[in-house]
Amino acid sequence: MQDERHRKRCVASRWRTGAVLIAAACVLALRDAAPAGAQPTQGAPGGEATAELASPIGPLAYTPGRGLRLGDTRVTLGGYANVDLTRDEGGPARLGLDDLAVFVIADPTPRFHLFSELEVEDLVEVDDHGRGGTPDHDFIAERLYGDANLTDELTVRVGKFLTPVGRWNVIHAQPLVWTTSRPLATLLPFDSHVTGAMLYGTFFPSAGAVTYSLYGQFVNQLDPVRQPQPADRSAGGRLEFTPGHGASVGASYFAFTDQGDWQHLGGLDTLWQHDPFELMGEFVYEGASASVGDQWGLYLQGVLRVTQRFYLVQRYEHFDQRAPQPEVNLVILGVAYKPTPPMILKAEYLIADHPAVESPPGIKFSFAILF
Q: Is 16's pLDDT higher than 60?
A: no
pLDDT bin (cut points 50, 70, 90) of residue 357 is confident
Cα dist from 204 to 26, 27, 252, whole Å: 42, 45, 20
Pinpoint the alpha helices (H) of 95-253.
none
pLDDT value of position 345: 98
Q: Give the residue among 309, 295, 316, 300 at the shortest CA–CA distance from 345.
A: 309
**How many C-beta neighbours within 10 Å does residue 24 have?**
12
pLDDT value of position 25: 39
Kindly state the average pLDDT of the residues 185-200: 94
pLDDT, greater one: 184 or 45: 184
Q: Provide the phi-psi class of 37: left if phi over 0, else alpha when psi is between -120 and 50, else beta.
A: left
pLDDT value of position 49: 60
**How many C-beta neighbours within 10 Å does residue 180 have?**
24
pLDDT tens-digit profile of 90-112?
888 889 888 899 999 999 999 99
Mean pLDDT score across all residues of the chain: 84
The CA distance from 346 to 84, in Å, is 9
Structural domains of the chain in order of their starting residue, each with its CATH number? 2-33+83-92+142-370 (2.40.160.10)
pLDDT bin (cut points 50, 70, 90) of residue 160 is very high
Contacts 24+ apart (CB under 8 A), 204-208: 207/243, 207/244, 208/241, 208/242, 208/243, 208/244
Kindly state the average pLDDT of the residues 100-129: 89
